Amino acid sequence: MKILIIGGTNFISPPVIHRLVAMGHEVTVFHRGQTHADLPSGVDHIYGNRQNLRDFQAEFEQISPQVVLDAIAYTEQDARTLMSTFNGIAQRVVVISSGDVYRVYDVLRGIESEPLEPLPITETSPLRQNLYPYQDFSERPLEVPADYEKILVERVVRNDPELPGTILRLPMVYGPGDPLHRLFPYVKRMDEQRPAIVLAQRFAQWRGVWGYVENVAAAIALAITDDRATGQVYNIAEAEFPTEAERIRRIGQVAGWTGEVVIASPSLMPDSWSLPYNLEQHWVVDSTRIRQELGYVEPVLLAEALKRTIEWERIHSSETVSSAAAPELLDYGTEDAILAQLAAIRSL
C-alpha cells in the first residue's frame, strides 16, 4: 500500500512510519524539513508547508497514495485544505484527533460544572459545546494555533461525501520523544532520591487517559492499513486506568526508586496550592471499539513502556522542561514540611 503522511517527523509519526515500513508499505512524508527524525531508509520525502498543500497536488498525483495520514490537522481550514487537495487522488484519509473533543474535557477544566460526565467515555459520548479550547491561553500547548479545534477538523472530514475518512482520538501520550516530558518531573525527583513524592488527596485519586507512543503508533498504523476503519471513529487508550498515585508508584518501581508516594489530606496542603481542574471528573476512555473491530493489542507492555520512557527522559534531562509540566507537584521545601508534619502526627 502507498501511504502519504503529512507531518511525519515529530514524536508520534516516526514510530508510525517505522511500523508501516516494517509491514511492507511504501511511505512518503510531507514535511517542512526543519525537524530531523530517524526514519527508515526508503522513505520518500516531499518538502513543503502544509499551508501550501494544494501547490503540491501534481506531486501527490504522481505518488498516488491510497491512504493519507494527516498528523497535524489542527484547524477547520487545515481539514478543508486536506480534503480538497486529495479528493480524486487518495481513497481514504486518516486524521489524528484528540480526546479533548469530548465534553468531559470542559468539565475537567471547570468550563462546565454539572453534571459530571458518565464514564467510561465512548466514541458516542457528548462533545464539547465550547469551541477553540486554547484561544485564551497565553501559552498554548505545543504552540498550537489559537483557532485549534479538532471538533471542526472531524466535522469537515466526516461530512465529505467524496473522500471517506477515519478519525483517531488520542490520549495523553508519553514515551521517547515526548515534547512535553510528561514523566520527567517524577523521574527527576526519583533520581534525586527524594524520600517521598507528596500528592494532594484529590489528585492522587484521579484517573486519566494515557497511551505509550509506540502503542499509539501501532493503533494508528492499524487504522491506516485496515479498510474496516473506513468511516469510523476510534478512541485510542490504555485498557487500564490507575489512579495518579498508582501510576507514579509504577514509575517508581521501574525507575528503581525506594521512596514512597504520600497522599496528603486537604488540611495538610498549603492554602496557596490549587489546580485549575475539577478533579471530581475522571477522564476514563473506552477503547473497546478499535480492539474488537480491528484487533488492536498493545505491542509494548506497560513495564517496558515505562522503562524505555524513563531511559529516554534521563538521557534528555538537560532539555528545557516547562515549569507547567507537573503543576500538581509541590516545591521541595513545602513537601518536606508536610512530611515533617506527618512524621510528628505518627509519633504521637
Helix H or strand E segment including 261: strand 260-264
Residues 6+ apart with CB under 8 A from 155: 76, 79
Q: Which of 316, 277, 36, 274 is nearest to 183 (CA)?
A: 316
Q: Which grid cell is 15?
A: 514510530
pLDDT of 322? 66
| Domains of the chain, residue spans | 2-347
CA–CA dist 130, 115 (Å, integer): 16
Grid coordinates representing 219 are: 493503533
Specify the pLDDT at position 56: 97
Q: Is 93 helix (H, G, I), strand (E, B) or coil?
A: strand
Query: What kind and span of H or E run contains 104?
Result: helix 103-108
DSSP class of residue 243? B
Cell numbers representing residue 220 in the block? 494508528
Cα separation, 21 vs 291, in Å, equals 22
pLDDT at 323: 56
CA distance 81 to 84: 5
**Comparing C-alpha atoms, which of 208, 298, 300, 283 is closest to residue 245?**
208
Bond from prior residue into 115 cis (ω within 30 degrees of 0): yes
Give CA separation, 233 vs 137, 162, 273, in Å: 28, 18, 38
Can you tell me whether residue 60 is helix, strand or coil?
helix
Neighbouring residues of 229: CB distance < 8 A, sequence distance ≥ 6: 94, 166, 222, 223, 293, 294
Supply the pLDDT for residue 36. Answer: 81
Locate 57 and state its grid cell.
497536488
- Comparing CA positions, the residue from 130, 103, 131, 97 lying closest to residue 117 is 103
Q: Cell 471530581 appears where?
A: 280
Cα angle for residues 6, 7, 9 (degrees, 5° grid)? 140
CA–CA distance, 328 with 337 (Å, rounded to integer): 16
pLDDT value of residue 319: 77
Cis status of the peptide bond prior to 120, with omega within 30 of 0: yes
**8 Å CB contact between 158 and 173:** no
**Beta-sheet pairing, 210-212 with 172-174:** parallel
Q: How many CB atoms lie within 10 A of CB 274?
A: 10
- 2-347 topology per CATH: Rossmann fold (3.40.50)
* pLDDT tens for the chain, residues 1 to 348: 999 999 988 999 999 999 999 999 999 999 998 888 889 999 999 999 999 999 999 999 999 999 999 999 999 999 999 999 999 999 999 999 999 999 999 999 999 988 999 999 999 999 999 999 988 887 777 778 999 999 999 999 999 999 999 999 999 999 999 999 999 999 999 999 999 999 999 999 999 999 999 999 999 999 999 999 999 999 999 999 999 999 999 999 999 999 999 999 999 999 888 898 999 999 999 999 999 999 999 999 999 999 999 999 999 987 767 656 789 999 999 999 999 999 998 886
